[in-house]
Structure 1
Amino acid sequence: MPIHDRLKHARQRSGLSGKQVKERAGISESSLSEFENGKREPSLSQLQKLAAVYRRSVAFFLAEGPLTSEPAVLWRMRPAQEAEQIEAHFLRLCEQYHNLEMWCDDRAPICLPPAAGDAVSYGYAQAEELAKRVRQELQLGDRPGLSLLATLEEVCGVKIFHLDFEPSGTAASAVSETFGAAVLLNVRNARWRRNHDLAHELFHLLTWRIFHHTPETLLIAGEAEEKLATCFARHLLMPTDPFRTAVNARMHDGKVSFESLFDVAREFDVSIESVLWQMHFLYGRGPDAAAQTKQDIDRAKRLAPLLEDREDQKPHPWPARYHALAVKAMRRGEMSIGRFAEYLNITRHEAMRFVEQEVPDGEEVQVTPA
């Protein structure tokens, strides 16, 4: 595909109009039209500006041959505004992460327990059993929320990014033969809410081949699939026996105070809403009590400013491993200072501080007896 077609494809895929590109890249609409119609080619500096706006590499526009299929992003609820730009940013970060792994010769293999079944017959029992198996095989223990993020990133090879977007109650995932499995979380949410979102998206990654066989199905998960993902997340983060033990220890005459329920939420690092719904199902309150559970959730949210006694730190946009690989690649001479600054979204001046830091070369620790 020639460069002018790639330019047009990238703009359309990012959901930007010619006017928006002009405002962000400083390139007139008439010039952009000439670039996309093949009347003339952009200069290197113009191409770099367009690549930054479209969240693409310059190499994408200079590549020869047909355009390969691109990964689709599966949303729980696709943003009404700027969805294409968020997707492009997410996929660009995944591509950069993959590049860093290649440059450092340190690609983490995807180590996720495979799920079996078909979309028609897959039910809640299978989702619950899958959660149990994942917890056991990944050795997440009785309180998975405390270690799920680090395990998926450092052990399982899942690329997890945090960006700011609307609505806050959504998240996304993507699977690619190139970069593997990835999850996008909302930086606005509290850590305990992000834990639920991460577990929720993990279900989609595990069952990707079950529910999404063709690219046409990859945009928004169906209602039934979303309910299964929620069931999986509940059982993964709040395993039945440990959770029941924690609640029973705080129960008096069949009741638990809201103060104690916030303690349970903190213990499992989940939201109070998740705790109340897990209690709803485990203690057999049934569908007739759903309205009461919703009232309890509303009451808990009003009490949260008084009882939510735990700290929350906003996560960095990219994982610690991504940052470590970028530093390693730069120090090994695998990437320029300019690209290093681009990958970490810092200035060249800030990037130079990493260059100026001297790192001992060749120092090792003896592990086995000499």
Structure 2
Amino acid sequence: MEIRVGERIRALREKSGVTQDRLREVLGLENRQTIGQIEADERRITVPELMTVLEFFDVPLERFTNPFIPMATPKFSWRQSDSEIDDLRQFEERASEWIGAYREFGRALGEDRSALRHTLDLTFKSSFEEATAAGSAMARQLELGIAPGKALADVMQQRMGILVLMVDALPGISGAASTLPDLDVALINRREPEGRRNFDLAHELFHLLTWKTMPPKWLDGEAANDAEAKKLKRIEQLADRFAAGLLMPKEAIEALGEPGEDVNEWVKEKAGVLGVSAQALGYELIDAGIICPEYLHNSSRRKLARRATALPPLFSRPFAERLAKAISRGLISVSRAAVLTDLTIEAMGRLFDDHGVVRPSTMGGPMADAA
């Protein structure tokens, strides 16, 4: 893939707040127009000049040689607890490469980016009832059906242009929202139970839809003072209420019918139908007057076990499809793709199989032969 070094220099300069004239001085060039030519990739930057740029901005050479590091750094907001910051930053760098690769492959393949960016008309002063109603309204508008959680990831990708990545995250990380000027992404820890995964996905969707009006912090719960902490806590509560309304709208609750004789078992069964946790469904059923508040006392006392659910495939079908096309078109080699995804070549083949994507012919395997 072609690496546009000049474009990356421009993005780095603008992000750092450095003027073209200042960069001209650093490089010892006679006129500012030369910087413009370099940034437009009309004039090649020399090796000594590139080394000077790296030293001035204090960035590694990979920042310019790795085509999958996005030119515009993605913004992240992580839902996590007790993660080591250094480990989280390293994982974020890997996630940035996955996002950057998806974006650059799409650009090289000529695939249209979503021209629409969905938003929610909510602020941190909105009521919890308004957030719940917004979630329920979105479930209807997106036609998520009577089990919204099970349809949400596909609909986000197909109708909203939001990339969903199921990943093997670090311990303590449940998910993250990430945004670029032309791409929104939700990363979800695929090793969480299904109900938690779906709730996290809906929660991250809220942040993506309200990023401009209520930008989340890099770390969930991070605050500079008490006033900010109070505001951020309310935003997280609004996100939770939106997620509850989206995953358990009135229509879905009504479709569950009447409780069985064993309320605990009935709630667990219906939670599986909706793809939510039994505890989350319990709260909604109490609010709807379908079961009594005593349920929560009994369920917590009995410590209901989480249901075992199947592990979803890594990443997502759109990601796998674009990666397979990139390999087939020669945009990336099979071995480099394996490094990008942190998989062996054999495991990457299974990734394509799991998503029902035809393997590139260069990989071999039954699905590639069938093609």
Common fold by TM > 0.5: yes
- Counterpart in the other structure of 2:330: 333
Q: Give how far 1:313 is off.
A: 2.0
Matches within 5 A, 1:271-350: 271-283=277-289, 294-299=296-301, 302-304=303-305, 308=307, 312-347=309-344
- Counterpart in the other structure of 2:272: 266
1:100 to 89, 96, 105: 105
1:207 to 206, 210, 218: 210
Kindly indicate whether residue 185 of structure 2 is the aligned counterpart of residue 182 of structure 1.
Answer: yes
2:259 to 250, 254, 262: 250
8 A Cα contact 1:113 1:137, kept in partner: no
The percent of aligned pairs where both chains have the same amino acid is 21
Partner SS, residue 184 of structure 2 = strand
Instruction: For 2:175, give the aligned amino acid.
Output: A
Q: Give how far 1:117 is off.
A: 3.6
Q: Give how far 1:68 is off.
A: 6.8
Q: Deviations over 1:182-236 (max 9, x none)?
A: 1121122012220111111111111111112xx9x54435211111111111111
8 A Cα contact 1:163 1:184, kept in partner: no
Q: Deviations over 1:42-85 (max 9, x none)?
A: 9xxx96xxx5xxxx673479x9xxx9762321123365312212
Kindly indicate whether residue 163 of structure 2 is the aligned counterpart of residue 159 of structure 1.
Answer: yes
Q: Give how far 1:353 is off.
A: 7.4
Partner SS, residue 213 of structure 2 = helix
1:137 to 138, 141, 144: 141
8 A Cα contact 2:136 2:248, kept in partner: no
- 1:241 & 1:226 partners in 2: Cα distance? 25
- 1:73 & 1:98 partners in 2: Cα distance? 16
- Counterpart in the other structure of 2:44: none
8 A Cα contact 2:146 2:255, kept in partner: no
Q: Deviations over 1:145-199 (max 9, x none)?
A: 121111112332212222222215x321011114x11112112201222011111
Change (3 A) 1:257 1:95: same
Q: Give how far 1:38 is off.
A: 4.9
- Counterpart in the other structure of 1:58: 65
- Counterpart in the other structure of 1:86: 91
- 2:331 & 2:360 partners in 1: Cα distance? 17
Gaps of 5+ in 1: 10-33, 362-370
8 A Cα contact 2:144 2:152, kept in partner: yes
Change (3 A) 1:86 1:343: closer
- 2:213 & 2:55 partners in 1: Cα distance? 42
Matches within 5 A, 1:61-76: 70-76=73-79
- 1:110 & 1:299 partners in 2: Cα distance? 50
More displaced, 277-286 or 326-335? 277-286
Instruction: For 2:209, give the aligned amino acid.
Output: L
Q: Give how far 1:348 is off.
A: 5.8
Q: Give how far 1:98 is off.
A: 0.8
Q: Give how far 1:341 is off.
A: 2.8
- Counterpart in the other structure of 2:40: none
- 2:263 & 2:370 partners in 1: Cα distance? 56
Q: Give how far 1:328 is off.
A: 1.2
Please give the TM-score of this superposition, normalised by the length of structure 2: 0.68
Instruction: For 1:125, give the aligned amino acid.
Output: E
8 A Cα contact 1:132 1:235, kept in partner: yes
Gaps of 5+ in 2: 1-5, 16-50, 222-231, 350-358
Partner SS, residue 210 of structure 1 = coil
Q: Deviations over 1:281-328 (max 9, x none)?
A: 222999xx6xx565344245x3427xx4xx522223311211111111
8 A Cα contact 1:185 1:194, kept in partner: yes
- 2:336 & 2:265 partners in 1: Cα distance? 50
Q: Give how far 1:129 is off.
A: 2.2
- 1:245 & 1:335 partners in 2: Cα distance? 48
- 1:112 & 1:195 partners in 2: Cα distance? 21
Change (3 A) 1:69 1:98: closer
Q: Give how far 1:111 is off.
A: 5.2
- 1:317 & 1:174 partners in 2: Cα distance? 18
Instruction: For 1:173, give the aligned amino acid.
Output: A
8 A Cα contact 1:135 1:144, kept in partner: yes
8 A Cα contact 1:108 1:155, kept in partner: no
8 A Cα contact 1:196 1:237, kept in partner: yes
- Counterpart in the other structure of 1:15: none
Q: Please give the root-mean-square deviation of Cα atoms over the aligned residues, in Å.
A: 3.9
Change (3 A) 1:129 1:277: same
- Counterpart in the other structure of 2:244: 234
